[in-house]
Structure 1
Amino acid sequence: MKPVDNLKGVNELTNGKKVLGVVTAAGLLAASLSACGSSDNNNNKNASGSEPASSAPASSAAASQSSGEKVTITFQNIYPDSSDPKYQMLHKIVSDYETAHPNVHIELDSLNTDQQKLKLKTQAASKEVPDITIVNPKAQMQPFVDADLFAPLNDMVQQNGLADTFQTGILDPYTFNGNLYALPDGNNIAILYYNKELFQQAGIANPPSTFEELIADVKTLKAKGITPLAIGEKDSWTGSFLFMNILLRTYGPGFLQDVTDGKTTFEDPAFLEAVQAFEDLVKAGAFQDGATSFDYNAGENLFKTGKSAMYFMGSWATGGIETSDVSKDANVGVFKFPTVNGKGDPNQYMLAPGSAFAVSKNSKHLTETLDFLNYFMLNYPKELFGLKGAVGLAQKVEGDFKAAGYSDMSITVMDLFTSVNGGDLSFDNTMNPATSQVHLSSIQNLFVKPDTDPSAVAKEHQQAYEDNKQ
């Protein structure tokens, strides 16, 4: 795998004006981009290394349009929440495309993240992948690529200048052996959102800067009858995402890479310390009752409806929070994940190159599907900008965010990108799927059994890694 530059290339931010790609993806991916399988060769020169073919209008003339053939394109997506700007963007672009191409119907299959992952696995096993589906980068995507399920997008991304809309380096995690197989929707960092009014009700003046302060605030909020921290842990990646940020503090960047390289194991003291800290958070009453029965959308909606004081998530959540009732009167603030036991750099983040759109190699309407995806991605940042959902995109965004009515909260999130000093990718984007599944279940179990011996959690992880390492 080719080396990736340290996170230094940050594009200009001037109070939210004329933001062109909030941060370079090459920087976001600085920390740990390996452990992704032997056939991964992140070299996407064929995909984005040459000049765009043209600056033509967003859609080329698909073959089916001239023939009049009736075409249905199945589009599996993870935008089921009608209150989210991405949902509105999706339906607007689909409607516009169908109007311009009356012979084409886009059939939407909108699922939450875990539902979509499970459904795609079943579809992949029978080689019945939707025309367009959602994949995650690196290790999560590798098995589908190895199974030869996706069509290369090298040529399509050159049409209409699409390649040039993406931030530098962001296509690398979706490129294998020189072929680009998916187009990402985001480029994100993990942050904590907080409800200023609920903090004031509990007598908390400022957001916590240390984990010890976070635990104390959790107990204070809980005593006031306020749910401290919302989470949708039915979708088990959410708890993992939070846990890995704790581990990023106790160990620093690169833990999973060091495990893979044989430099440490899951029984490292920093891993045990992270497990203990996570358990302390659960035992302090941080999360809503029945957290493991709330899916991602239900967990997020607790915060968006003012029913929890904090919410830990990737910056992709900013758009939905921005347009929700909780954000009225500048009520939502954001803060960096705190130090843990005095350890860690708050400017190191969990980094999240986004979920991405892939096209089935066996699509019955491959030409039309590629044409639609090209149109969709060209219009993606434009539509989201107008819907106040353009924070944390993988594509460059042109516009005056303040003039467009974006809140101070959104501008603050964009400003945080300028402070990023490295970080890590999520567990399931780094480790092989079998080890990742053990990890996800193990962390999820801590929500109901927070007295589990951290050494037992470590041994469970290490055994899974030894059994499944490649």
Structure 2
Amino acid sequence: MKRSFALIATAALVAGCGGGGGTTASEPSKDGSPAKVTLEMWHLSTSDPMKTIMANWAKEFEARHPHVTIKATVLENEAYKAKLTTLTQSGKAPDVFATWGGGVLKQQIDAELVKDLSADVAPVLGTFTKASLSAYQFDGKTYGLPYDIGMVGFWYNKKLFEQAGITQPPATWAAFLDAVGKLKAAGTTPIALAGKEKWPGHYYWTYLAMRIAGLPALQQAAVDKNFDTPDFVTAGRQLKALVDLQPFQKGFLGAGYSTPDGQAASVANGKAAMELMGQWAPSVQNDAGKGLGDDLAFFPFPAVDGGKGVATEALGGGGGLAVGADAPAEAVEFLKFVTQMDVHSKSTAAGGTLPVLQGEESAVKDPNLKVVSESLSGATGFQLYLDQAYPPAVGAEVNDSVAQLIAGTKTPEQVVRSITEVAQSE
């Protein structure tokens, strides 16, 4: 799932929504044809190719089900999260809505706002890869279906690396810090960061925690509600070591992600050498700036010498669709429709999604996305974004505290204490 995109673009706001949710249906016609149904669908694919793919999915489904009309509300990442939170807090949910799964979806499930799909999708569950489904399953039940999965890594400008004398992507954190120094010496801004939006910064702390403490430590911390350990402090100190090199673009603390002068555009326009971002990065770069074409490449987050984790453990997530508890059967049918092999593989071939279905790997055409797909297929562990894996308040504190560390207003020790305090108050 694309974590963030261009500025808010509402394809078709639900008439009279008011934060709405719920389905409108008329009485069955006298000739016995199905009652007309209007499905409210909320998603955040504001950049192509997924923007168009989502719209086409809706049109194709409507063509096959003439009694159904799909009204799509399309919002940028942060606006989407805020609007959906407001709606769910009122006790409602859209008929079909985008979700990253994890702790946020679990909270919505506990509030009885999400339909249990287990029985309805049982016949098709075997067609999905285990990794793609995991974020939407709890206690043996399924509450969403994935349409995308991917991982976070470094997207970089090969030409700027070569000009700085960097002959190959750094495989260790020490080599990465050295590469940052070489880029600065060559007069190049090493890294673009959307400091204003906070969530891009949490990738650094999370990956360092994974590499230093190991993936099981992050998972156990969620159970123990304790992040105040030496390894997590060390992760913060290593992030501070990077920050101390002043690697980010001028004004990064006020920069957005997909704005014309934001993180993606800085890389796309050759003003910064790299960004740490998910598999959607190329399409957002092309939308926000010029794009790098053949000069764009990808490498996984490096290993940390002496760490308990390994470079084959991936941080990422996917895009899924869930169904509101009061939604009609057509909402479930829509999820099943868009995840059929003949429908979904077209989006994968277009570079909009990565494989979530078994045997779909050959549909990936883009060379960089092939690298991501191959990295995922060889991953020895997988961690969902922390701001989605953990309960919402804990995920928000991770984002906030790491942002303060990057801004220089919080120490590594204060970061883990703050996250622990919020976790223990939940």
Post-superposition Cα deviations, 1:183-205, rounded to whole Å, max 9, x if no partner, equal 12233333212110121233322
Residue of structure 1 in register with 2:135 after alignment = 173
Residue of structure 2 in register with 1:203 after alignment = 165
Whole-Å separation in 2 of the counterparts to 1:407 and 1:257: 33
Q: 2:227 aligns with which of 266, 277, 292?
A: 266
Q: 1:382 aligns with which of 336, 345, 348?
A: 345
Q: 1:114 aligns with which of 78, 103, 106?
A: 78
How many residue pairs match? The answer is: 393
Give unmatched runs, 5+ long, in structure 1.
1-62
Residue of structure 2 in register with 1:282 after alignment = 243
Cα distance change on mapping 1:411 and 1:172 into 2, 3 Å: closer
Residue of structure 2 in register with 1:44 after alignment = none
Aligned-partner residue type, residue 234 of structure 2:
E
Whole-Å separation in 2 of the counterparts to 1:305 and 1:156: 47
8 Å CA contact 1:98, 1:106 repeated in 2: yes
Query: Aligned to 1:171, what secondary structure does the other structure show?
Result: helix
Aligned-partner residue type, residue 284 of structure 1:
L
Whole-Å separation in 2 of the counterparts to 1:419 and 1:386: 21
Aligned-partner residue type, residue 325 of structure 2:
K
Higher relative contact order at CA 8 Å, sep ≥6: structure 1 or structure 2?
Answer: 1
Matches within 5 A, 1:121-270: 121-158=85-122, 162-168=124-130, 170-260=132-222, 262=224, 265-270=226-231
Aligned-partner residue type, residue 361 of structure 1:
A
Is 1:79 the equivalent of 2:55? no
Q: CA deviation at 1:322?
A: 9.0
Q: CA deviation at 1:85?
A: 2.0
Query: Aligned to 1:234, what secondary structure does the other structure show?
Result: helix
Post-superposition Cα deviations, 1:236-289, rounded to whole Å, max 9, x if no partner, equal 322112211011122122223333555x94332211211111122223222233
CA RMSD of aligned residues (A): 3.0
Larger mean Cα displacement after TM superposition, 112-121 or 318-327: 318-327
Q: CA deviation at 1:342?
A: 4.6
Query: Aligned to 1:447, what secondary structure does the other structure show?
Result: helix
Normalized against structure 2, the TM-score is what?
0.81
8 Å CA contact 1:318, 1:389 repeated in 2: no
Q: 2:381 aligns with which of 397, 422, 437?
A: 422
Of all paired residues, the percent bearing the same amino acid is 26
Query: Aligned to 1:206, what secondary structure does the other structure show?
Result: coil
Aligned-partner residue type, residue 414 of structure 1:
S
Q: CA deviation at 1:317?
A: 3.9
Is 1:302 the equivalent of 2:245? no
Residue of structure 1 in register with 2:420 after alignment = 462
Whole-Å separation in 1 of the counterparts to 2:219 and 2:361: 38
Q: 1:436 aligns with which of 383, 390, 395?
A: 395
Cα distance change on mapping 1:408 and 1:350 into 2, 3 Å: closer
Whole-Å separation in 2 of the counterparts to 1:125 and 1:343: 41
Aligned-partner residue type, residue 407 of structure 2:
V
Q: CA deviation at 1:375?
A: 1.8
Q: CA deviation at 1:167?
A: 1.1
8 Å CA contact 2:151, 2:372 repeated in 1: no
Residue of structure 1 in register with 2:7 after alignment = none
8 Å CA contact 1:222, 1:228 repeated in 2: yes
Aligned-partner residue type, residue 421 of structure 2:
Q
Matches within 5 A, 1:315-394: 315-317=279-281, 326-328=291-293, 330-343=294-307, 345-363=309-327, 366-378=328-340, 381-391=344-354, 393-394=355-356
